[in-house]
C-alpha cells in the first residue's frame, strides 16, 4: 500500500511549490490542503506541528516542516 | 554530470547567477552554477510586476524560466553549498559540500544577501511560532488575525499588502518618519484603508511570548501603551551579504560590507567577478533587472578573461595541485 502523503500549503509559498514539484518529479501522489481556505486543516496543522510556518508535510503520520529534500527522499524511499 | 574542470563556476542561483549562467552558456563556456536556495530572494518575492517584457509573474516562476533558459545553452545547475574556494596559481579550486573538488578558470559570486533579524532575545525561540521572515510564505496563514510587519521598505509594504488580503488588522512599524516603498505599492497599501496602521519612528524593543509570540514592547508608545499585542510578527528589515567566502579569498569589500566591484563587475582578485545583491553598484536599489544586468556583465568579463588567459589553469593545474598537496 502507498504511503499517504499530505501537504499543508499557502498559495504564495515558494517552498510549498518546490515540495509539490519534488513530488510530481518523483511520481508521489499527495493531498494538498490550502490552509488559507481550510480552517480545520489550518488548526490541525498548527496543533500537530506546534508552529505556524508552511509547508508542513505529513508522510504516513510523520511530520516535516519546510522543504527538506533529503528528509522527504528518505521517508519516501526516493534516491536523489 | 559534474566535471572536474569548468571555465566558470557561478555561486548562487538567483536572478544574477542565472543571468550569468545564460550569458556564459551562450559564450560557450563550461559553466557550473551552485546554489542552496533556488531562485534567491526573487523566488519568495511574490508577484513581480516590473521585470521588463513580462507583465506580471510569480518570482519563483520567473526563476524557473531563467533556469530553463540557462540550461538550454548548456549551463549545469545544481543544488549545493560551496564550502571553500581557493586560488592556486591560475586556478580556482572549489569545494562543494559532499562533492569532489573541482577546478575553475573563473568564479562569479552571485551569492545575494541574507535577511536581517532583529537580534532580540526570544526571536529565534519563537521563529515560526508567531515570528516569521517570509510574508509571501506565511503571511496568508493569518486569516482574520492581527499581525505586525517590521520595516518601512518596499519588501515590508509588499508583504503587508499581501497579508492584508487575509489578516483583519496589520500594524507596520517603520523606524523612520516615512516609508521607502515604491509609490505604486504605497498606493495599493492606502487602498486597504484602516486595515493597515503605520507606526512611524517606532522600533521593537522586546519580544514577549512563551512557546508562542504574544506581543512586543515598543520604543515609542502607541495609543497610550508601550506594548502591542498581535498573533504574528513579520520581520522585513532588509538584508546583508554573506561574506564568508569572499573574506577567505581576500576580496575587498566596500564601506557597507558588500563586495567591491568596478563597472565590469571585477573584484580586486583577477578571475573573480560579482553580481547581484552582494554588490552595491547601484546603491541600495536592488531589483531583478539590476541583478540580471550585473550577471550579464560579470559573464562577459569572465569570458574576456578566459579568452586572454587561455588555458593557463589547465596547463598548470597538475603541478600546482601536487605542490599544494606536498606542502599540506
Whether B121 is in a domain gets the answer no
Q: Is residue B199 part of a domain?
A: yes
In this prediction, residue A42 carries a pLDDT of: 96
Instruction: Quickly tell me which residue has 519516501 as its cell.
Output: A76
Chain B residues with CB under 8 Å of A39 CB are 143
Distance CA B217, CA B209 (A): 11
User: Which residues on chain B are in Cβ contact (under 8 Å) with A8?
Assistant: none
CA triplet B227, B233, B235: central angle to 5 degrees? 115
Band of pLDDT at residue B315, cut at 50, 70 and 90? low
> Could you tell me if B57 and B200 lie in one domain?
no
Contact flag A53-B138 (C-beta cutoff 8 Å): yes
CA distance B26 to chain A (A): 28
The confidence score (pLDDT) of residue B35 equals: 96
Q: Number of folded domains in chain B?
A: 2
State the average pLDDT over residues B159-168: 97
Q: Is the pLDDT at B322 greater than 50, yes or no?
A: no
Handedness of CA B3, B8, B9, B15 (dihedral sign): negative
Is residue B42 domain-shared with residue B73, that is, in the same domain? yes
**Quick check: is B12 in a domain?**
yes
Residues B223 and B170 in one domain: yes
Evaluate whether residue B190 is within a structural domain: yes
Q: Is residue B141 part of a domain?
A: yes
Are residue B185 and residue B276 in the same domain, yes or no? no
Q: In this structure, is residue B39 part of a structural domain?
A: yes
Q: Which of B209, B235, B261 is the last residue of a domain?
A: B235
In a domain, B293, yes or no: yes
- Which alpha helices (H) appear in B11-153, and where do they start and end? 15-26, 40-43, 59-72, 135-138
CATH of the domain at B19: 3.50.50.60
Which of B46, B59, B138 is nearest residue A52 as measured by Cβ atoms?
B138
The total of other beta-carbon atoms located within 10 Å of residue B289's CB is: 16
- Residue where a domain stops, chosen among B219, B235, B251: B235
- pLDDT of B310 > 90? The answer is no
**B247 and B231, same structural domain?**
no
* Spans of chain A, pLDDT less than 70: 1
Q: Are strands B272-274 and B102-109 parallel, antiparallel or unpaired?
A: parallel
> In the listed set B179, B203, B235, which residue is the last one of a domain according to the structure?
B235
B224 and B162 share a domain? yes
Residue B328: per-residue pLDDT: 36
Indicate which of A9, A11, A12 best probes the interface with B, i.e. most B CBs within 10 Å of its own CB.
Answer: A12
3-state secondary structure of B293: helix
What's the pTM value of the predicted model, to 2 decimals?
0.88
Q: Are residues B78 and B107 in the same domain?
A: yes
Q: Do residues B106 and B152 both lie within one domain? A: no
Enclosing domain of residue B66: 5-115+239-325
Cα distance between residue B110 and residue B297, in whole Å:
12
The torsion angles phi and psi of B266, rounded to 5 degrees, stand at: -85, 140
Looking at this predicted complex, what is its ipTM? 0.89
Amino acid at each position: 500500500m502507498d504511503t499517504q502523503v499530505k501537504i499543508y500549503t499557502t498559495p504564495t509559498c515558494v517552498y510549498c511549490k518546490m515540495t509539490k514539484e519534488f513530488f510530481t518529479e518523483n511520481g508521489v501522489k499527495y493531498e494538498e490542503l490550502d490552509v488559507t481556505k481550510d480552517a480545520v486543516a489550518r488548526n490541525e496543522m498548527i496543533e500537530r506541528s506546534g508552529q505556524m510556518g508552511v509547508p508542513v508535510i505529513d508522510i504516513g503520520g510523520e511530520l516535516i516542516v519546510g522543504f527538506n529534500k533529503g528528509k522527504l527522499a528518505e521517508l519516501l524511499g526516493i534516491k536523489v | 554530470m559534474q566535471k572536474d574542470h569548468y571555465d566558470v563556476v557561478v555561486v548562487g542561483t538567483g536572478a544574477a547567477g542565472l543571468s550569468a549562467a545564460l550569458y556564459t552558456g551562450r559564450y560557450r563556456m563550461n559553466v557550473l552554477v551552485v546554489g542552496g536556495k533556488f531562485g534567491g530572494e526573487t523566488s519568495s518575492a511574490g508577484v513581480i510586476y516590473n521585470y521588463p517584457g513580462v507583465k506580471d509573474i510569480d518570482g519563483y516562476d520567473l526563476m524557473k524560466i531563467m533556469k530553463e533558459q540557462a540550461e538550454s545553452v548548456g549551463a549545469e545547475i545544481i543544488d549545493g553549498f560551496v564550502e571553500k574556494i581557493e586560488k592556486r596559481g591560475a586556478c580556482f579550486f572549489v569545494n562543494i559540500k559532499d562533492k569532489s573538488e573541482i577546478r575553475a578558470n573563473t568564479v562569479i559570486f552571485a551569492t545575494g544577501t541574507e535577511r536581517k533579524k532583529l537580534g532580540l532575545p526570544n526571536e529565534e525561540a519563537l521563529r515560526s511560532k508567531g515570528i516569521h521572515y517570509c510574508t509571501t510564505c506565511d503571511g496568508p496563514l493569518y486569516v482574520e488575525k492581527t499581525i505586525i510587519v517590521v520595516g518601512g521598505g518596499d519588501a515590508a509594504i509588499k508583504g503587508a499588502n499581501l497579508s492584508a488580503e487575509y489578516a483583519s488588522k496589520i500594524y507596520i512599524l517603520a523606524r523612520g518618519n516615512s516609508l521607502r516603498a515604491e509609490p505604486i505599492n504605497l498606493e495599493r497599501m492606502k487602498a486597504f484603508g484602516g486595515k493597515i496602521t503605520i507606526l512611524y519612528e517606532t522600533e521593537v524593543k522586546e519580544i514577549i511570548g512563551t512557546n508562542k509570540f504574544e506581543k512586543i514592547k515598543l520604543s515609542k508608545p502607541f495609543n497610550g501603551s508601550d506594548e502591542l499585542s498581535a498573533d504574528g510578527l513579520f520581520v522585513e528589515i532588509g538584508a546583508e551579504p554573506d561574506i564568508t567566502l569572499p573574506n577567505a579569498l581576500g576580496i575587498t569589500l566596500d564601506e557597507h560590507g558588500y563586495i567591491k566591484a568596478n563597472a565590469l563587475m571585477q573584484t580586486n582578485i583577477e578571475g573573480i567577478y560579482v553580481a547581484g545583491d552582494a554588490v552595491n553598484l547601484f546603491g541600495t536599489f536592488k531589483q531583478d533587472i539590476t541583478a540580471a544586468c550585473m550577471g550579464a556583465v560579470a559573464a562577459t568579463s569572465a569570458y574576456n578573461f578566459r579568452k586572454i588567459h587561455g588555458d593557463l589553469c589547465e596547463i598548470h593545474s597538475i603541478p600546482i595541485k601536487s605542490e599544494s598537496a606536498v606542502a599540506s
